[in-house]
Amino acid sequence: MSLSAFIREHHEDITVEFAAFARTLMPTGANMSDAEQRDHAEEILTAIDRDLSTSQTADEQLLKSRGRGSAKIMAAAGKLHADARIRHGFTFRSVLAEFRALRATVLRLYSQSGASDVAGILRFNEAIDEALTESMDRFALQTEMFRDQFIGVLSHDLRTPLGAIITGAALLAVPEDNPQRRSRVVARIMSSAQRMERMVGDLLDLTRAKLGGSIPLKPGPADLQQVCEEAITEIRAGQPDAVVGLHATGDLRGEWDTDRLAQVVSNLLANAIQHGAGTPVTLTANDEGEAVTLAIHNGGAPIPPDVRPFVFEALTRGHADDTVGSIGLGLFIARAIVSAHGGDIQVSSSSEAGTTFSVRLPKRT
């Protein structure tokens, strides 16, 4: 039996084993489903089968082995696989391990069958290498883009509050007898310093989430209703014109990191107020037995469909995360905190229904 025929016949066995191994590499807090893992494995196997079934001259094989083949059948599969893994926080080392495992799985099962297809095995290794090369190129590109975005956004956003602090300090250095003016300058300096502190905190959270896969938590007894009430009070102090309402039902007590949970509610509230175009913002918290749900709703223009899949990505300057004082991390951090608690966060948006961010948290982390 040829290797191509073997892969088609044992497609399910290979997929199951590969998906099981991929689960062991999944970062803490990642929300990739079993179906997604299987889909990616099946896509690669299908591309491999198509590659093995495509006629190939000796010259084409030589070029392909050197990464200069013209067919590029596996390149698309490798790129899609890398993009999916990047979205779920996999590292390039994890993807390398996946391809090693896929190669080993196929060759081991094929050798156990007693069949022999040397030419097919050579073609198979070439196909795996082509997909792997494309995946690593995608990771390199993503890392470069992320670095450029990080530096650009950081330098741009920190420059504004830093300039305000420098200007305010210069004004305070000038002797004068106007206590009200000096008080206003001090207030602006404090506000700018607090903005910079929030930005630095966001960057630390980004680093933890990207490098460790999950934001560290200190869970303890917490009350979601109390967290929401305190977040609303804080928001109203900074934005007195905002109209925010809370509807809470049932037992909303659980075991969470209170400070982190407050960060989630504050980020989502700030986002809703920013994009609500002055419409009322509503928080709805419900008891769901072993879990609680939180929904933050606002009116205004909906999130465009092409932006919606990326609203939780880091450093994405889109409709849903460009609040004042933000460096494009608010929704990313909210998702990371919710995921670290074992929960889930989703968004829905339309002209008729408005925009709603929905959070579901188990009562025990």
Rounded Cα distance, 293 and 354, in Å = 18
Instruction: State the burial class of residue 298 (Cβ atoms within 10 Å of its Cβ: 0-12, 13-18, 19+).
Output: buried
How far from 283 is each of 16, 129, 324, 339, 340, CA to CA, in Å? 42, 50, 21, 20, 22
pLDDT, position 349: 93
pLDDT, position 69: 58
pLDDT, position 326: 45
Question: Would you give per-residue pLDDT tens digits along the chain (365 residues)?
Answer: 888 888 888 888 888 887 787 777 766 555 566 777 676 777 888 888 888 888 777 777 766 666 555 556 677 777 777 877 777 767 778 888 888 888 888 888 888 888 888 888 888 888 888 888 888 888 888 777 766 666 665 665 667 677 778 888 888 888 777 788 888 888 878 877 876 776 777 676 666 665 555 677 888 999 999 999 988 888 887 778 889 999 999 999 999 988 889 889 988 998 899 888 889 999 999 999 999 999 999 998 899 888 887 788 765 544 444 443 444 677 878 888 898 898 999 999 999 999 999 999 999 86
Neighbours of 242 (CB within 10 A): 18
Neighbours of 284 (CB within 10 A): 17
Instruction: Answer whether 0.85 is exceeded by the pTM.
Output: no
pLDDT, position 160: 66
Rounded Cα distance, 338 and 345, in Å = 7
pLDDT, position 85: 78
CB of 335 within 8 A of CB of 323?
Answer: no
Which domains does the chain possess?
Answer: 3-145 (1.10.490.10), 158-212 (no CATH), 220-362 (3.30.565.10)
